Chain A
Amino acid sequence: MFKGSTARKSMLLVIMLLLLILSTLIAIGIGSVSVNPVVTLQTLFGYGDDTSSVILWDIRIPRVLLALIVGANLAISGALMQAVVQNPLADPGVTGVSSGAAVAALFIMLAYPGASVYVPIVAIAGGLLAAAMVYMMAWQRATGFQPVRIILSGVAVNAIFGGVIGLLSLLYSDRLPSAIQWMNGSLAGKEMSDVLMILPYSLAGWIIALLSIRQVNVLRLGEQTAHNLGQNMNRVRLMLSLLSVGLAAVSVSMVGLVGFVGLVVPHIARMLIGSDYRYSLPLGILLGAIILLLADMIGRSLFSATQIPAGIVMAMLGGPYFLYLMRKGGA
């Protein structure tokens, strides 16, 4: 519907931005103690009472911000990965970053629960290590980084780490419940310091991603044409992969394994606004943020007794929506 003119595409972006702001306000308000939007705004601008200030600033806002940041990160990460390997089924996990992070995080959470504060840093290390393995395996001197080899190495490395995850779960099955939230991507119990920790890296990633849009766009024309147009394919692939891995690693390390966003949001963005990354990447950022935010909001307010991890909500609600878009004939 908005695939036509530039004006309509820009309008869609503006609408999505407004939706983002609106859903942020609602998300901040909703919870075990609900705060109406007017009070929310008052509190945000420093005119709220003490109770709502504490609830909002210490609990709700960090959580909401984190959802926005992580959602955006994963959406960009997935879009870049799909461009790099020229495969619509790619997601950030292709690079092994999620399973690598999961193994490292699980190991700490299950084997050394006392050291749980180090989970984020260990997860980042594990994720980066796995991605490095995948790219080392994929590299060939004659042909460089071939997409199919990246995917295959990713599958292999993911299989290995999947095995390790299974083994860890079996060995420490008694402690497993503590890790389930993380394994399904949960934003529970996050503080402002967590937000501040990943914000600079994420911001840097977004800026670099937006500046790389031209390179990503050229990849749409296929490897041969991109080469003809003066793109050093190995350099472009490596740079975009690094960016994708980096964004995924900081996200996963903070909130655990969040599926769906990285795979599906880039597709939804393309269906809504077309394949030009000048529009679909910004739209993907907004959509990723909104979707993770809404998923988390639903997850924490659906049952008051149990917080359902955002990853589960997203998969269960987002999946059908994606199927609907697909059937409608978007792509």
Chain B
Amino acid sequence: MLALKDVTINYANRSIIKDVSLDVHAGEIVSIIGPNGTGKSTILKAISKRIGVAGGSIMFNHQNLTDMSVKEISRLMCMVSQSNSSPHDMTVGELVSYGRLPYKKWYERMSKEDEEIVQWALSQTHMEVYRERLVQRLSGGEAQRAWIAMALAQQPKMLLLDEPTTYLDIAHQLEVLDLIKRLNKELGLTVIMVLHDLNHAVQYSDKICVIHRGAVHAYGKPADIMTRQLIGQVYGVEAEIEQVGGVPRIHIIKKSNVKDVSKMMNIKPMDIAVLKENYQKLVGGAQSVFLSTIALDGSPFLSYAPFVEHDGKVYVYLSQIAEHYRNLEANPAVDVMLVADESATKNIFARERARFKGQAKNVGNEGYEDVFAKFEAKFGTPTFKMLRTLDFSLFELTLAKGRYVVGFGQAFDVDFAGEHFEHVNRDAHGLDVKPSTKQGE
């Protein structure tokens, strides 16, 4: 029914939405979720042609939106926002009557048929008794129902809802969502809504589209896409997911420490500049820090990341770690990489050294053996001590010359005090590791 293809939306010369593609079938409820400021509402606005697209196309029943007038579009879809403004003296009946406007020429008045449709819209939303009430005197939930009634009076094929439950208490949230679900079922109304509550999205949607940094991070049935990893990557929170009758139920535990790494490592923008500057040198000349890691299948192994020393501290170029994530992705037996527990990794340096003996090269075209040797010569034999695990983990890397803390985990997405390492050729999982300029440049 609705097809977005490679839609790019710019605002003030910055792209807010980049290459978003989305297929919505007739009769579906699709929820768009994602952190604040990722462009969810922008997508809804583009679908309703409130804002134009800079690239790509939006098709409604195989007809391009750009070929349709605003009035034609207003007969196909209607948008209801989190809060809508109405004059202080407008009644519910008047408001809903405005829903007939898309069908009226400028000289036409309300006909008997229009009146019936208004009545029908009011009854569908159980608002008949409120007809003479002032919209501004309604409670949040009633007001939202009044606006949905106006949308219904437009007899749209599709309902767009921008955070329809944001200002409502939980009972009214459910009431509005139940109403939407019922309209979807009984009238076959296609619904696209932006929601914040993940459990509501899961519970009320046929499909969920996760938007992260202006791109589609995942799109599919709630049970298929809602994973701890996804929630961790997109929202930076730790969550547990329980399956209740085939429907995932999400419990948010706490905020991950992803962003704390900048504090832990004392990395400042200046340091990042040093990192960048040295990157080429590092991969060419190869000094690496070893990180102890373990895959979910239980096998511990060492990974490495280039580092620099600056002001007596070691900084690790964390993007390098993402390379390993990608390697792991290629291996279906490995779900996700976690940091090893202490016992498994205590002597991993020696073990890995033995394992890599004779193997040819690493990133810096240096023999692994040489790296191990160089490292040991410089720092002594490292021992690993785990500080904590989960989506993000921290390591205290104990070397002969001192203690260093390095971050690990979702490190490739880490935000160093507001400065991103953006990864250009990011693949579907956001795992490409090419270093690039910081965001906004």
Residues of A within 8 A of B (CB): 3, 142-143, 211, 214-215, 218, 220-222, 224-225, 227-232, 274-276, 331
Contacts and interface: CB of A to CB of B under 8 A. Distances in A.
Given A142-B11, A227-B50, A221 B75 contact: no
Contacts of B254: none
Contact of B78 (A142, A215, A228): A228
B393 interface: no
A222 B95 CA distance: 12
Given A229-B101, A230-B73, A211 B84 contact: no
B154 A229 contact: yes
B89 A228 contact: no
A329 B155 CA distance: 39
Contacts of A275: 87-90
B102 interface: yes
**4 closest Cβ pairs, A-B complex:** A230-B74, A230-B71, A275-B87, A230-B102
Contact of A229 (B81, B90, B98, B106): B98
Nearest to A234: B70
Nearest to B13: A142
Contacts of B94: 276
Greatest chain B CB density within 10 A among A142, A220, A229 is at: A229
Interface in B246-301: none
Interface in B76-92: 78-79, 81, 84-90
A221 B85 contact: yes
Contact of A220 (B70, B81, B86, B99): B86
A275 B74 CA distance: 24
B148 to A, nearest CB: 12
B51 interface: yes
B84 A225 contact: yes
Given A228-B74, A230-B101, A222 B84 contact: yes
Given A227-B70, A228-B154, A275-B87, 10 more contacts: A142-B51, A211-B107, A214-B101, A221-B86, A224-B50, A229-B98, A230-B70, A230-B74, A275-B89, A276-B87
Nearest to A214: B106
Contacts of B48: 227-228
14 contacts: A3-B89, A142-B52, A211-B107, A214-B101, A214-B106, A220-B86, A221-B84, A227-B74, A228-B78, A229-B98, A229-B154, A231-B70, A232-B70, A276-B89
B87 A228 contact: no
B10 interface: yes
A222 to B, nearest CB: 4
B180 to A, nearest CB: 17
B343 interface: no
Nearest to A224: B81
Nearest to B81: A224
Greatest chain B CB density within 10 A among A218, A222, A225, A331 is at: A225
Contacts of B78: 228
B191 to A, nearest CB: 15
B247 to A, nearest CB: 32
Contacts of B11: 142
B101 A218 contact: yes
B70 A224 contact: no
Contacts of A3: 89
B243 interface: no
Given A211-B106, A220-B86, A222-B84, A228 B71 contact: no
A331 B89 CA distance: 10
B359 interface: no
Contacts of A274: 89
Chain B interface size band reads 20 to 34
Contact of A221 (B74, B89, B98, B154): B98
A211 B107 CA distance: 8
Contact of B10 (A142, A220, A231): A142
B84 A229 contact: no
B98 A232 contact: no
Given A142-B51, A218-B98, A218-B101, A232 B69 contact: yes
Contacts of B102: 229-230
Nearest to B77: A228
Given A227-B70, A228-B78, A230-B101, A222 B154 contact: no
A229 B74 contact: yes
A211 B79 CA distance: 27
B106 A228 contact: no
Contacts of B84: 221-222, 224-225
A301 to B, nearest CB: 38
B62 to A, nearest CB: 21
Contacts of B107: 211
B83 to A, nearest CB: 10
Nearest to B88: A275
A275 B154 CA distance: 23
Nearest to B106: A214
B94 to A, nearest CB: 8
B51 A224 contact: no
A158 B380 CA distance: 74
Contacts of B87: 220-221, 275-276
A231 B107 CA distance: 15
Interface in B93-137: 94-95, 98-99, 101-102, 106-107
A205 B384 CA distance: 83
Nearest to A143: B51
B74 A220 contact: no
B15 to A, nearest CB: 12
Contacts of B101: 214, 218, 229-231
A224 B101 CA distance: 14
Nearest to B70: A232
Contacts of B106: 211, 214-215
Contacts of B86: 220-221
B99 to A, nearest CB: 7
A61 B99 CA distance: 47
A5 to B, nearest CB: 11
A211 B105 CA distance: 12
A274 B87 CA distance: 9
Contacts of B89: 3, 274-276
A143 B9 CA distance: 12
A115 B90 CA distance: 52
Contacts of B151: 228
A66 B86 CA distance: 37
Nearest to B153: A229
Nearest to B102: A230
Greatest chain A CB density within 10 A among B12, B70, B107 is at: B70
A227 B106 CA distance: 16
Nearest to B52: A142
Greatest chain A CB density within 10 A among B52, B69, B85, B107 is at: B85
A215 B105 CA distance: 11
Contacts of B73: 230
B164 to A, nearest CB: 13
A232 B151 CA distance: 18
